[in-house]
Amino acid sequence: MSTGISANRLELLQIADAVAREKSIDKQVVIAAMEEAMQRAAKSRFGAENEIKVEINPETGETNTSRYLHVVDEVENTKTEISVTDARVRNPAAQAGDIIAETLPPIEFSRIATQAAKQVIVQKVRDAERERHYEEYKDRVGEVVHGTVKRVEFGSVVVDFGRAEGVVRRDEMIPRESFRTGDRIRAYIYDVRREARGPQIFLSRTHPQLMVRLFAQEVPEIYDGIIEIRAVARDPGSRAKIAVISKDTSIDPVGACVGMRGVRVQAVVQELQGERIDIIPWSPEPATFIVNALAPAEVSKVVLDEDTNRVEVVVPDDQLSLAIGRRGQNVRLGSQLTGWQIDILTEQEESERRQKEFADRTQLFIESLDVDETIAQLLASEGFANVEDVAYVPVHELSEIEGFDDETAEELQGRALGHIDARNAALEAKRVELGVSDELAELEELTPAMLVAFGENDIKNTEDLAGCVSDDLLGYIETKDNERVRVPGALDGFDVNAEEANALIMNARVRAGWITAEDLLPPEEEVEDDDAENDDGNEAPAQGTE
């Protein structure tokens, strides 16, 4: 073996080793890239239709170039096939279906072939490096990374954090925040995914979890799990609220997060460009939590509606602006933090509203039950909201009202039932007049008033209802002339939520024959055979029964 050839082999391995170390990838990946590059050069030299394979010995650097020929009875392509007779000259045991490897002479690389080989190797190494980046960072979603701004492109910031690059898109930047090339930056990894140009690491400066991670770095009790951040709401660069709770009753979670003279919270504030942070105690009681979330405003009363997930908060008149906050910021963050839709009223507004409700109910009872104002006010003050409440409540609850006896209660209930029957009869006549089908009226969920509303909105049979979507029934918001306008639905004014509206539509689709009742059932979970039977084929015994 000549000295020149030995030097070339040694140099080949040294190059592979150096590239693998520099790019932090497996040396075998680099050698495989070299093999593919040489294979392409060989096909260019001997013909692309040939089946050629190049192997590099990772220990010695020796290169072996072979062409594979399929042994066949009749040769149709001399580039890839060889007859049994010719094959047995090389290997007496050769049979049809075997593959013969023919060693080719070393490849002389031309300038063009060298460039092509270089491109192949560079591309393969880059692909391997990108795959390493993806494998390394795909499990690091949720971490905060430190990096250096590499460049700024159209408002987005490309960050170099050593072994990889990430990008902070413009919409993930804190408003009015700017970075220059070379600046240090901390950001939150919220997504890592493969894309056509390679794996992309997406970073954020506005993600709520960035604040959680920053507090964990500044507050040892959070890092150790003694204090937990239960909820975060941010208006990036302006204001934020975090709800904290301590597992150790001897440790004040708010005080621990603020730190001595506010040093801990100030460190986070400075990192987030002066974002003002309200730290509040979390509570399992929704009302208490909502009151805490609206701090520093004082709250007089909280009324929860769990069905609609809305809460009505009453504040003193002089606290209204503080509770709402500048541009609604305080109540918006409070709503995000608690998960409740918050409506704020002043004490005066609440009083006026309740007085109006009381007057409306009193008038309703006067007209519907043909009673005087005193009796109507007694019913309204006892919490009866409509005629149905009077008609279907147990008689003894009416007779227990001060000034009422059994006879009065029975008379009131009889009048309420009579009013409902008369009203339903009128609605039924209106329903027939509007052409609403009897089949649609058979749906148990629909009241006579709903059927009339459907008729007035051109929903007159089961197929009409089946063709609706929930927005048709509940209404929706659209933009007209740059203004958001609410388009009313067929069931506006009725106490129907989105889930009930969808159930109505699906029931109609079943009746119309569009779908079957089985289509509405949730998919059954597959049960593995091992869970259902023992190895001997017997049923598994029930567990957990007494």
The residue-averaged pLDDT of 202-213 equals 92
The string of pLDDT tens digits covering residues 219-263 is: 999 999 999 999 999 999 899 999 999 999 899 999 999 989 899
Instruction: Give the pLDDT score at 3.
Output: 31
Instruction: Give the pLDDT score at 119.
Output: 67
Domain with CATH 1.10.150.20 in the chain: 362-428, 438-520
Task: Find which of 40-54, 103-117, 137-151, 276-290 is predicted with most confidence, using mean pLDDT.
Answer: 276-290
Confidence of residue 475 (pLDDT cuts 50, 70, 90): confident
- Pairwise CA distance, residues 508 & 5, whole Å: 83
**CATH H superfamily, domain 3-132:** NusA, N-terminal domain (3.30.1480.10)
For residue 293, which of 302, 276, 277, 280 has the smallest C-alpha distance? Answer: 280
- Pairwise CA distance, residues 288 & 314, whole Å: 14
Looking up tokens 């009422």 gives 404
259 or 100, which is more confident? 259
The string of pLDDT tens digits covering residues 278-306 is: 999 999 999 999 999 998 888 988 988 88
Instruction: Give the pLDDT score at 246.
Output: 93
Q: Are 409 and 395 in contact (CB under 8 A)?
A: yes
The residue-averaged pLDDT of 24-50 equals 71
Query: Is the pLDDT reported for residue 136 higher than 60?
Result: yes
Instruction: Give the pLDDT score at 536.
Output: 46
**CATH H superfamily, domain 438-520:** 5' to 3' exonuclease, C-terminal subdomain (1.10.150.20)
Q: What are the strands, taking DSSP E only, across 474-546?
A: 476-480, 483-487
Query: Is the pLDDT reported for residue 193 higher than 60?
Result: yes
Q: Which residues contact 175 (CB under 8 A, 6 or more apart)?
A: 236, 237, 238
The residue-averaged pLDDT of 152-178 equals 86
Query: Is the pLDDT reported for residue 391 higher than 60?
Result: yes
Domain with CATH 2.40.50.140 in the chain: 141-204
Query: Is the pLDDT reported for residue 535 higher than 50?
Result: no
Q: Which CATH architecture has domain 141-204?
A: Beta Barrel (2.40)
pTM for the full predicted model:
0.60
Instruction: Give the pLDDT score at 528.
Output: 46
544 or 82, which is more confident? 82
Question: Which run of H or of E encompasses 158?
Answer: strand 156-160
For residue 239, which of 147, 302, 175, 284 has the smallest C-alpha distance? Answer: 175
Q: Which amino acid is at 239?
A: R
Domain with CATH 3.30.300.20 in the chain: 225-350
Q: Say if domain 362-428 classifies as CATH 3.40.1190.20.
A: no
Instruction: Give the pLDDT score at 198.
Output: 66
Confidence of residue 161 (pLDDT cuts 50, 70, 90): confident
- Pairwise CA distance, residues 18 & 233, whole Å: 49
- Pairwise CA distance, residues 172 & 175, whole Å: 9
536 or 249, which is more confident? 249
The residue-averaged pLDDT of 86-114 equals 68
Altogether, the residues listed in the chain come to a count of 546
Instruction: Give the pLDDT score at 516.
Output: 86
Confidence of residue 542 (pLDDT cuts 50, 70, 90): very low
Percent of the chain with pLDDT over 90: 25
Angle CA 155–156–161, to nearest 5: 140
- Pairwise CA distance, residues 448 & 426, whole Å: 9
519 or 292, which is more confident? 292
The residue-averaged pLDDT of 201-209 equals 92
Quick one: residue 262, left, alpha or beta (phi over 0 = left, psi -120 to 50 = alpha)? left
511: which 2 tokens? 């009746």
The string of pLDDT tens digits covering residues 418-462 is: 998 998 899 989 989 999 998 888 888 888 999 999 999 999 999
- Pairwise CA distance, residues 127 & 133, whole Å: 10
Q: What is residue 249's DSSP assignment?
A: T
- Pairwise CA distance, residues 95 & 72, whole Å: 8
491: which 2 tokens? 């069931």
Query: Is the pLDDT reported for residue 6 higher than 70?
Result: no
Its sign, for the CA torsion 345, 347, 352, 357, is: positive
CATH for 225-350?
3.30.300.20
Half-sphere exposure of 201 (CA within 13 A, CB side): 29
Instruction: Give the pLDDT score at 37.
Output: 72
Q: Are 228 and 178 in contact (CB under 8 A)?
A: no
367 or 15, which is more confident? 367
Instruction: Give the pLDDT score at 335.
Output: 92
> At residue 528, what are phi and psi to the nearest 5 degrees?
-70, 150
Please give the mean pLDDT across all residues of the chain: 81
Percent of the chain with pLDDT over 70: 83
